Homo-oligomer: A and B are copies of this chain.
Amino acid sequence: MTVFEATCTAPVNIAVVKYWGKRDTSLILPTNSSLSVTLSQDQLHSKTTIRASADFTSDRLWLNGIEESIEKNKRLVACLRETRALRAQIEEKDASLPKLASLKIHICSENNFPTAAGLASSASGYACLVYTLSQLFQLPLDASDLSIVARQGSGSACRSLFGGFVAWEMGEKADGSDSKAVQIAPETHWPDLQAMICVVSDEKKGTSSTEGMQLTVKTSALLQHRIKEVVPKRMEEMIAAIRNKDFPKFAELTMQDSNQFHAVCLDTYPPIFYMNDISRAIIRIITEYNKDGVKAAYTFDAGPNAVIYAPEKNMAEIYAVLSHFFPGATFDDSLGLLSKTSTLPPLPQNFDTRVSPVFAQGSVKQILHTKADNGPRVLDSAQHGLLNAEGLPKRLA
């Protein structure tokens, strides 16, 4: 019998205009639009294989080699229900199509980065799930259509269905049919833009973003002002900055929006903290680095890790500055930054190293160099599939 299987990877995205707050928690409809940059799957990705087979007696899911319950995960169930319903519709219209909608499936998904690193894995994970389902079921949907499904798995996942620069339009409709991702510009539009991810060690696990954002919606007096007055204008300015490849403007807006996101977290009652003293030191260091002109932009999501966006030409210097204050960080040099630069450049002439103490070894655990890149990729299951002949994971944890 023929095996129906698809294997895909999907990227991580890091917002430069942040998503924080839902107006509908079951459909995951946001209180404001947001905008992100899709990072290269060469460094960070989720990979998913999904097989449909008459031999399977139930739907099963393995995440990073551990079997998880599907039923308990309402959001996952929603994504399956929606894609199967769409498959059923096209099967009705065309009797020649194999009847996949009624078959049980096995889902096997892995991230190539440690969840422990605190890099948002739900975005790439749900984007990969929905994209792989659309491949398996051969759904006649474009990435924006799929983003509406992925959004119901994890809000920010909708932005990982596109490469490059992606806006999540909040929409207005109650059913969420207009709350979708659209591509502002492809990765090829601004190839010079790169990113450096600083994985910061932290004793204290912060509030989950799902709980955190609704507590902010409920208690922060400042959030409503951000939603109504600040973000709409900032979205327009950010889109213009990206279209014009105006890095200083892009950077300023990115840093201001990261600051404001953490400000409304602090205005929450009780307050929510995601940045720690190391995160704040990185902000001081980048602020000092930018004092004679904006050469880098920091942004922080719901955790202490920093993502620093900058033009390629500044990356070696930024790495040198970070290495000065954060010794002992392992460097993931996938882009060959150090091999290109025989020696690390010195700190900028007038850089005032007193802006921060030099931190203990491993305060920043890892620095990863990456860049803007494309959206989900389809792989050859025969070669790259995660399931064996029996439809079970090749690798278990």
Return the CB mask of A211-244 against B: 1 if under 8 Å, else 0. Answer: 0000000000110011001100000000000000
The reply to whether A283 and B260 contact each other, CB–CB distance below 8 Å, is no
**B264, B266, B287, B356: which contacts A270 (Cβ < 8 A)?**
B287
Number of residues on chain A facing chain B (CB within 8 A): 31
Chain B residue nearest to A256 in the complex (CB)? B269
Interface: A263 (CB within 8 A) = yes
Chain B residue nearest to A280 in the complex (CB)? B273
- CA gap between A262 and B269 in the complex, in Å: 13
Interface: A255 (CB within 8 A) = yes
> In the assembled complex, which residues on chain B have CB atoms less than 8 Å from the CB atom of A273?
280, 283
- CA gap between A287 and B262 in the complex, in Å: 19
Chain B residue nearest to A265 in the complex (CB)? B263
> In the assembled complex, which residues on chain B have CB atoms less than 8 Å from the CB atom of A269?
252, 255-256, 259
CB distance from A298 to the nearest CB of B (A): 10
Q: Given A225-B221, A230-B221, A266–B259 Cβ distance below 8 Å?
A: yes
- CA gap between A391 and B252 in the complex, in Å: 56
Chain B residue nearest to A276 in the complex (CB)? B277
> In the assembled complex, which residues on chain B have CB atoms less than 8 Å from the CB atom of A277?
276-277
| Residue with the highest number of chain B CB atoms closer than 10 Å, among A259, A260, A277 | A259
CB distance from A200 to the nearest CB of B (A): 12
- CA gap between A276 and B277 in the complex, in Å: 6
- CA gap between A271 and B222 in the complex, in Å: 16
Return the CB mask of A41-77 against B: 1 if under 8 Å, else 0. Answer: 0000000000000000000000000000000000000
24 contacts between A and B (CB under 8 A): A203-B357, A204-B284, A204-B357, A221-B226, A221-B230, A221-B260, A222-B222, A222-B225, A222-B260, A222-B263, A222-B267, A252-B269, A255-B269, A259-B269, A259-B271, A262-B266, A263-B263, A263-B264, A263-B266, A266-B266, A270-B287, A273-B280, A276-B280, A277-B277
**Chain A residues with a Cβ under 8 A of chain B:** 203-204, 221-222, 225-226, 229-230, 252, 255-256, 259-260, 262-264, 266-271, 273, 276-277, 280, 283-284, 287, 356-357
